[in-house]
């Protein structure tokens, strides 16, 4: 579940993501993969200009520009609904020092994340809930094999326990802004179980 993006800044994982979607047997959902070149060229030019402003960070990789997913299934109208249809998801962040919603989406939707990005333990995610991979195609491929061999029901019990514990902590509930977020995440979890 990732849109087509490019970056010319050293350390970006966009090239790895594009290669994984092209070379590994994974279903891909997201915007931009089938966009016309006129649309893509604006993002390419803009991101190239950003990289030029950061001395020493420029890294040109044509693979990320021209790669097309092997199994592109279009845009998802509801990414959480789509994710709940899978037991494993490949999660490649924008860089190894960055975490987005992708990892938590995978966990909350009940998919074992095969993950390349910032250390998931920094987010409080316990060992065993994420198959963490080094940033290489070979590591992602091994990660998918490891995830496929895991006992999904046992993993799901651990993931559900962590989610319940995390969402029920008074610290999260004490902030008014978090009440709606926690309520929605609990609803997603309950829908999946009942």
State whether the Cα torsion 130-31-94-165 is positive or negative: negative
Opening angle at CA 144, ends 131 and 3, nearest 5? 90
Q: In which residue ranges of the chain is pLDDT below 70?
A: 4, 33, 44, 47, 56-59, 61-66, 167-185, 187-194
Q: Hey, what are 154's tokens?
A: 């046992």
pLDDT for 72-118, tens place per residue?
A: 888 888 889 999 999 999 999 988 887 888 899 999 999 999 999 99
- Residue from 121, 35, 114, 109 nearest 72 by CA: 35
pLDDT reported for residue 18: 84
Q: HSE of 176 in the Cβ direction (CA atoms, 13 Å)?
A: 0
Token look-up 């609904």 returns 81
CA distances from 193 to 24, 83, 141, 188 (A): 30, 15, 30, 9
pLDDT reported for residue 155: 97
Mean pLDDT of the chain: 81
The torsion region of residue 74 among left (phi > 0), alpha (psi -120 to 50) and beta comes to: left
């Amino acid at each position: 579940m990732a849109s087509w993006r490019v970056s010319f800044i050293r350390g970006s994982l966009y090239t790895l993501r594009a290669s994984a979607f092209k070379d590994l047997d994974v279903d891909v959902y997201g915007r931009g993969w089938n966009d016309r070149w006129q649309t893509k060229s604006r993002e390419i030019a803009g991101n190239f200009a950003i990289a030029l402003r950061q001395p020493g960070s420029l890294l040109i990789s044509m693979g990320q520009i021209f790669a097309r997913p092997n199994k592109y299934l279009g845009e998802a109208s509801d990414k959480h609904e789509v994710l709940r249809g899978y037991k494993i998801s490949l999660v490649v962040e924008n860089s190894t020092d960055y975490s987005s919603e992708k990892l938590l989406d995978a966990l909350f939707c009940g998919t074992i994340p095969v993950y390349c990005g910032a250390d998931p333990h920094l987010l409080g995610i316990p060992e065993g809930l994420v198959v963490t991979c080094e940033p290489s195609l070979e590591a992602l491929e091994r990660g998918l094999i490891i995830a496929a061999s895991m006992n999904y029901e046992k993993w799901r019990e651990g993931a559900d326990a962590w989610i319940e514990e995390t969402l029920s902590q008074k610290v999260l509930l004490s902030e008014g802004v978090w009440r709606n977020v926690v309520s929605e995440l609990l609803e997603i979890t309950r829908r999946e179980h009942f």
